[in-house]
């Protein structure tokens, strides 16, 4: 059973394989951050949240447990999507789905809110790569940043974004920064005005 008292280590042990757990401290959102971001992104029932670069789905699962939003994770690594789907089955949640896709193929207009935990950074620092399943490059990093920026620009007023340890260059000036954690500004909340 998943409850509020679980630590990151306990949740990881409950839901993920040994190989997935080995990346947790660097690549998966900590529970405390996931709860805080999910509550910002899904303040009411039925809000649709997209997690770009969802990995094994930890943010989506924690978000779905603590809000009445609907969480979609998009990830381009098949092994991580498989892990996420196994974790979802263990968590027995119905307000989460995971898509195996390049985020460039996703229609951002189908979502109300967006979560970015620095999903493209490994393209610049290959030694942080999760695996060798996908090709990494500086060009991909800048292509993805540009795509996100242009997609966010087209969205409706009130669209919410949460970034964690992320490059804010992907956030257009039409979004107002409304919250930033005191410790090195690692978690930020934005809203389109």
The pLDDT tens digits for 147-165 are 999 999 999 999 999 999 9
pTM: 0.92
Q: Which 8-state DSSP code applies to residue 24? A: H
User: Contact, 169 vs 151, CB < 8 A?
Assistant: no
The pLDDT tens digits for 91-131 are 999 999 999 999 999 999 999 999 999 889 888 887 777 78
Q: What integer is the mean pLDDT of 34-60?
A: 97
Q: What integer is the mean pLDDT of 84-92?
A: 94
Instruction: Calculate the alpha carbon distances from 72 to 7, 67, 152 in Å.
Output: 23, 14, 17
Q: Tokens 């920026």 correspond to what residue?
A: 149
| Helix, coil or strand: residue 12 | helix
Q: Tokens 């974790």 correspond to what residue?
A: 87
Architecture of domain 30-192: 3-Layer(aba) Sandwich (3.40)
Half-sphere exposure of 99 (CA within 13 A, CB side): 15
The sheet carrying 70-75 orders its strands as 96-100, 70-75, 48-52, 113-116, 160-164, 187-192, 175-180
First to last CA, the chain: 40
* pLDDT tops 80 at residue 49: yes
Phi, psi of 100 (to 5 degrees): -90, 105
- Categorize the per-residue pLDDT at 187 as very low, low, confident or very high, splitting at 50, 70 and 90: very high
The torsion region of residue 163 among left (phi > 0), alpha (psi -120 to 50) and beta comes to: beta
What is the structure's pLDDT at 185? 66
Other Cβ atoms within 10 Å of 63 Cβ, number: 30
Torsion of CA 59, 62, 68, 69, to 10 degrees: 10
């Amino acid at each position: 059973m998943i409850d509020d008292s679980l630590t990151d280590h306990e949740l990881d042990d409950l839901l993920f394989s040994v190989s997935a757990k080995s990346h947790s401290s660097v690549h998966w959102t900590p529970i405390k951050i996931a709860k805080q971001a999910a509550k910002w992104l899904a303040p009411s029932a039925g809000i649709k949240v997209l997690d770009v670069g969802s990995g094994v789905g930890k943010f989506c699962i924690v978000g779905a447990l603590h809000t009445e939003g609907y969480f979609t994770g998009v990830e381009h690594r098949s092994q991580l999507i498989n892990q996420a789907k196994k974790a979802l089955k263990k968590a027995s949640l119905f307000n989460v789905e995971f898509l195996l896709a390049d985020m460039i193929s996703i229609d951002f207009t189908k979502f109300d809110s967006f979560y970015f935990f620095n999903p493209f950074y490994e393209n610049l620092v290959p030694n942080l790569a999760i695996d060798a399943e996908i090709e990494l490059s500086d060009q991909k990093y800048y292509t993805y940043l540009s795509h996100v920026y242009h997609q966010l620009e087209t969205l409706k007023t009130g669209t919410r974004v949460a970034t964690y340890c992320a490059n804010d260059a992907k956030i257009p000036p039409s979004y107002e920064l409304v919250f930033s954690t005191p410790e090195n500004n690692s978690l930020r909340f934005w809203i389109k005005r």
